[in-house]
Structure 1
Amino acid sequence: MKDAEFKRKTEKAFALMSEKGLRKSQRIPATYRLLWWMGIKKTPALFASFASNVCFLGVYYVVFWGCCMWFVTWRPRGYSPLASVITALVAGLLFGLCMAAVFRSRRKAKGLPDWEKL
């Protein structure tokens, strides 16, 4: 997707979300703001597909939560690395599914269109 098209779609998406009464924290999660600042064009969570949200948010959770748990809790208690990775993967999958469901239900409740229709 080209920069101009992405910018046009995100501006239209933000206007729609604001018009529907969504707060800024609901419109643009901090993770997405960081990605955009880094130049990565990621579709806003409310407009992304369910599978895309599951994958992105699940991986994000696995990496950050798993690392934090490894260094703070699991390693000091002697958990095996394999058990830690499996636990982080299961937790990431559950987190991704839950958050994708939240974003999908919020999009349907507010009557927001698909990203392609913007």
Structure 2
Amino acid sequence: MMSYESRLRSAHDELRNAGIWKSNYNPPLHRIFRWLGANSRPPFYRSFIVNFLTSSAYFGTTWGVIMWFSVWETDGMDLSIAVITALSAGILFGLTMAFYYGFTFRKHNLTKWNDLR
């Protein structure tokens, strides 16, 4: 059985050879997960639902907090409207990213995670 690190190197090689930018196959959230000790697959090798949930949560929370402290609070936006707006933006972003990763995986005929050597 291949170790996580070996499989990750194979995945990065495959993605690089497919012409996918490093910032796309090794995004900040993925690097954070790995730094925290999680054996997280690159997003191209994760399921649609996992990509949707992680992208939605990451973007919606980060964008919502930034918008709240930089614009919305000083404009007097109601907190409930701010939360709904951030959730909506997170869902839209999560769907977009999940579709992008799935489409690119199929377009480049990438190898499934468990089949990487």
**TM-score of the pair, normalised by structure 1:** 0.88
Q: Which runs of 4+ in 1 moved over 3 A?
A: none
User: 2:7 is matched with which residue?
Assistant: 9
Aligned with 1:46: secondary structure?
A: helix
Matched, 1:89 2:95: no
User: 2:29 is matched with which residue?
Assistant: 31
Q: What is the CA distance between 1:103 and its match in structure 2? A: 1.1
Matched, 1:40 2:68: no
| Alignment map for 1:68-107 (pairs within 5 Å) | 68-107=66-105
Out of 60-69 and 25-34, give the one that drifted further.
Answer: 25-34
AA in 2 matched with 1:104: G
Q: What is the CA distance between 1:116 and its match in structure 2? A: 2.8
CA–CA distance in structure 2, aligned partners of residues 18 and 38 of structure 1? 24
* Cα offsets for 1:48-76 (capped at 9, x unmatched): 11111000000001110010011111111
Q: CA RMSD in A?
A: 1.4
Identity value in percent? 31
* Cα offsets for 1:65-96 (capped at 9, x unmatched): 01001111111111111111111111100000
Unmatched tracts of structure 1, length 5 or more: none
CA–CA distance in structure 1, aligned partners of residues 63 and 19 of structure 2? 31
Count of matched residue pairs: 115
User: 1:110 is matched with which residue?
Assistant: 108
AA in 2 matched with 1:61: F
Q: What is the CA distance between 1:41 and its match in structure 2? A: 2.0
**TM-score of the pair, normalised by structure 2:** 0.89
